[in-house]
């Protein structure tokens, strides 16, 4: 229901507002009863999130030789002692039905040669073949299929080119209760902030890897949902656990292109700028060491040498072998003038996945009533201190379906949202200082990479905290005086999540999983989550 006027921003009311259009958000939308009016918000095109770029697959117990207990134990082992066993069990026990739902929705997973059984692969940390996939572009298959399904649903509105500014709560409206009633959304086409009221709101905004200088994530991964939930009064947990991929293509125009670990598996060698190898100094398995060890080794050598990048060299292999095994990498590198059959690939580690997030339960409910969090934005307890390969898309599906079921169960008891004021732009003006935003953006991502990256120290974290505090005050002043833009919203959110990452890392006095600090290289006896509580936190009702 829109108020159509040229002089004022649009206002909408829905039963369910879903912010984010990746696998998590679309799973919620497609599992809701069709009598509910649903809106899915996306920054860019509907299928532009991290799901689209997922190359691997989805972990699930689909083979008779595998078992739920095997998958659970593998996940617990990978999680560094911090996985919540109840969350792991809940996720794995619902894995098969989630895959069956995707198949029924039309996702064309790769089959074996007999065309009867699905082809399953095995990845790091898994004791069995349990990764169902669509060639090497599973995310693309899932994203495009779910998007087409959503387009066909008359009760679902898909609105692209919009970025969330903040969720709206009873507290903001000076009303009693602890309830979310919608969100303010910036329309990027006309640069006006629109009012979206809803009985239920779902944050499916992805992770926060854009806080780092190098990342494999798409541009929208600026931690929007985590920052909005924190400001609204939700707890966040385990933000110190950022997963880094060891080899991302280093080139000013390459952005987020991964160089798969299979290159090292087929004989690729990591080298310093002088052409010498170094991995054997860090692990007897050299280039075949686990991902976290390789990432730390590359990071150490880059810092020691003051280098921007190192090299991955497979040019000693026959040209035909390289082109046959890695056609996509060969073509992509060639676009940037790099012939990998003749020269090494410049690489750098890159932020890949946010294991922490908004504290949520098995129904994806947060600390605020009628506000849900699903996917990478959420902290469910599944990943612990280190995400196991291919559990991330599974989490999107299982918790997305759980959120939809909870909303369906409760929707008859939840009244319409109360009136809310339009966004007030009367006291702000257009900025003529956009250079401030771009400069602060660069500064943030540089100090996060240098001080809060793969290898940390207390002194580095304290330096980062000081800079984050300065940036936060400067951006807060900018936000109060100027009309909001996409860049300003994302920068504001990135500074917020950066501070959460830094504070979480400072609290953890040990090296566990993805958090490695030179000051505390050992493990503490008791494994505990790092839970941050905002000043606006209120105990949620049952």
Average pLDDT in the chain: 91
Nearest in space to 442 (alpha carbons), one of 223, 214, 237: 214
CB atoms within 10 A of CB 438: 11
Whole-number pLDDT of residue 31: 98
Question: Taking the mean position of all CA atoms in its chain, how far away is CA 513?
Answer: 18
Residue 130 pLDDT greater than 50, yes or no: yes
For 509-534, b/e burial (b = at least 16 CB within 10 A) is: ebbbbbbbbeebeeeeeebebbebeb
pLDDT band at 542 (very low <50, low <70, confident <90, very high): low
Give the pLDDT score at 51. 52
Q: Is residue 126 predicted with pLDDT exceeding 70?
A: yes
Give the model's pLDDT for residue 248.
92
Pair 246, 295: CB distance under 8 Å: yes
Read off the pLDDT of each residue in 484-508 and give the average, rounded to a whole number: 96
- Please report which residue ranges of 121-206 form alpha helices under DSSP H: 138-151
Top pLDDT among 357 and 258 is at: 357
Residue 374 has pLDDT above 80, yes or no: yes
End-to-end CA distance of the chain: 31
Distance, in Å, from the CA atom of 348 to the CA atom of 244, rounded to the nearest integer, reads 10
Mean pLDDT along residues 153-162? 96
Q: Please, which pLDDT band fits residue 46 given cuts at 50, 70 and 90?
A: low
For residue 111, pLDDT beyond 60 = yes
Q: Would you say residue 208 has pLDDT above 70?
A: yes
**Active site residue ranges:** 291
Confidence label for 114 from pLDDT (cuts 50, 70 and 90): confident
Instruction: Pick the more confident residue, 180 or 430.
Output: 180
* Most distant CA atoms of the chain, gap in Å: 70
- Domain with residues 245-351, CATH architecture: Alpha-Beta Complex (3.90)
Q: What is the pLDDT of residue 475?
A: 92
Q: Please compute the mean of the pLDDT values over residues 295-311 and round it to a whole number.
A: 93
CB 187 within 8 A of CB 161: yes
pLDDT reading at 185 higher than 60:
yes
Over range 136-149, report the average pLDDT: 85
Q: Using the predicted structure, report yes or no on whether residue 432 has a pLDDT greater than 80.
A: no
Q: Is the pLDDT of residue 48 over 70?
A: no
* Comparison of pLDDT for 109 and 229, the residue scoring more: 229
Give the architecture (CATH level 2) of 433-517.
Up-down Bundle (1.20)
Query: What's residue 5's pLDDT?
Result: 43
Task: Check: pTM over 0.75? Answer yes or no.
Answer: yes
Whether 478 has a pLDDT exceeding 80, the answer reads yes
- Is the pLDDT confidence value at 496 over 80? yes
CA–CA dist 441, 439 (Å, integer): 5
Question: Taking residues 60-80, what's their average pLDDT?
Answer: 93
More confident residue, 512 or 113: 512
pLDDT of residue 390: 86
Share of the chain above pLDDT 90, in %: 73
pLDDT in tens, 447-459: 999 999 999 999 9
For helices 23-31 and 392-410, give the axis angle rounded to 10 degrees: 30
Separation CA 49–CA 41 (nearest Å): 12
Helix, strand, or coil (residue 54): coil
| 2-16, 308-322, 379-393: least confident range | 2-16
Specify the range with the lowest mean pLDDT, choosing from 50-54, 211-215, 262-266, 356-360: 50-54
CATH 3.50.50.60 fits 12-240+355-413, yes or no: yes
pLDDT value for 136: 58
Average pLDDT over residues 79-106: 96
Query: What residues does CATH 3.90.700.10 cover in the chain?
Result: 245-351
* pLDDT given for residue 2 in this prediction: 47
In this prediction, residue 49 carries a pLDDT of 55
Cβ atoms of 240 and 501 within 8 Å: the answer is yes
- Structure confidence by residue, pLDDT tens digits, 238-276: 999 999 988 999 998 887 788 877 788 789 999 999 999
- Where do you find CATH 3.50.50.60 in the chain? 12-240+355-413
pLDDT for the residue 50: 53
Tell me: pLDDT of 47 over 70: no
Q: How far apart are CA 244 and CA 283, in angstroms?
A: 18
Q: In the chain, which segments carry CATH 1.20.58.100? A: 433-517
| pLDDT of 125 over the 80 cut | no
505 neighbors 448 (Cβ within 8 angstroms): no
Span 5-14, mean pLDDT? 75
Tell me the torsion sign for CA atoms 262, 265, 268, 271: positive
Q: Kindly report the backbone phi and psi dihedral angles of residue 258, in degrees, each rounded to the nearest multiple of 5, phi listed first.
A: -80, 145
Q: Does residue 55 surpass a pLDDT of 60?
A: no
């Amino acid at each position: 229901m829109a108020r159509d006027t040229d002089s004022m921003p649009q206002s909408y009311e829905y039963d369910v507002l879903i912010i984010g259009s990746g696998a998590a958000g679309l799973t919620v939308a497609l599992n809701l009863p069709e009598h509910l009016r649903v809106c899915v918000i996306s920054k860019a095109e509907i299928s532009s999130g991290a799901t689209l770029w997922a190359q691997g697959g989805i972990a699930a117990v689909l083979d008779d030789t595998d078992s739920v207990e095997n998958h659970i134990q593998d996940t617990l082992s990978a999680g560094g002692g911090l996985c919540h066993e109840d969350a792991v069990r809940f996720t794995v026990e619902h894995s098969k039905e989630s895959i069956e739902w995707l198949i029924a929705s039309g996702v064309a997973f790769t089959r074996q040669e007999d065309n009867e059984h699905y082809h399953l692969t095995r990845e790091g940390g898994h004791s069995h073949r349990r990764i169902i996939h669509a060639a090497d572009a599973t995310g693309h298959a899932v994203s495009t299929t779910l998007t087409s399904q959503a387009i066909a649903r008359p009760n679902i509105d898909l609105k692209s080119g919009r970025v969330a500014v903040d969720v709206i709560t009873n507290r903001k409206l000076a009303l009693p209760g602890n309830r979310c009633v919608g969100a303010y959304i910036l329309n990027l086409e006309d640069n006006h902030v629109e009012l979206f009221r809803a009985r239920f709101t779902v944050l499916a905004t992805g992770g926060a890897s854009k806080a780092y200088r190098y990342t494999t994530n798409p541009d929208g991964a600026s931690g929007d949902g985590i920052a909005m939930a924190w400001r609204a009064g939700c707890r966040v947990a385990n933000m110190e656990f950022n997963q880094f991929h060891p080899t991302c293509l280093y080139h000013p125009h390459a952005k987020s292109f991964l160089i798969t670990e299979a290159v090292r598996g087929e004989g690729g060698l990591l080298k310093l700028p002088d052409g010498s190898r170094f991995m054997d100094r860090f692990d007897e398995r050299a280039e075949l060491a686990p991902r976290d060890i390789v990432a730390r080794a590359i990071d150490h050598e880059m810092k020691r040498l003051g280098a921007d990048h190192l090299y991955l060299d497979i040019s000693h292999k026959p040209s035909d072998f390289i082109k046959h095994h890695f056609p996509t990498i060969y073509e992509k590198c060639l676009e940037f003038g790099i012939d990998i059959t003749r020269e090494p690939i410049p690489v750098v580690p890159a932020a890949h996945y946010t294991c922490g997030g908004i504290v949520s339960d098995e129904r994806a409910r947060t600390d605020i009533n009628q506000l849900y969090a699903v996917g990478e934005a959420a902290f469910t307890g599944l990943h612990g201190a280190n995400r196991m390969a291919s559990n991330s898309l599974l989490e999107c599906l299982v918790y997305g379906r759980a959120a939809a079921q909870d909303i369906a169960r409760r929707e008859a008891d939840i009244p319409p949202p109360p009136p809310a004021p339009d966004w007030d732009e009367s006291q702000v003006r257009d900025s003529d200082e956009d250079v401030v935003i771009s400069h602060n953006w660069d500064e943030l991502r540089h100090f996060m990479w240098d001080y809060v990256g793969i290898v940390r120290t207390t002194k580095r974290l304290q330096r980062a905290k000081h800079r984050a505090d300065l940036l936060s005050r400067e951006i807060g002043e900018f936000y109060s005086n100027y009309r909001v833009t996409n860049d300003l919203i994302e920068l504001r959110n990135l500074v917020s999540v950066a501070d959460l990452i830094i504070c979480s890392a400072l609290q953890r006095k040990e090296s566990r999983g993805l958090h490695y600090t030179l000051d505390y290289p050992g493990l503490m006896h008791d494994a505990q989550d790092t839970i941050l509580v905002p000043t606006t936190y209120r105990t949620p009702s049952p």
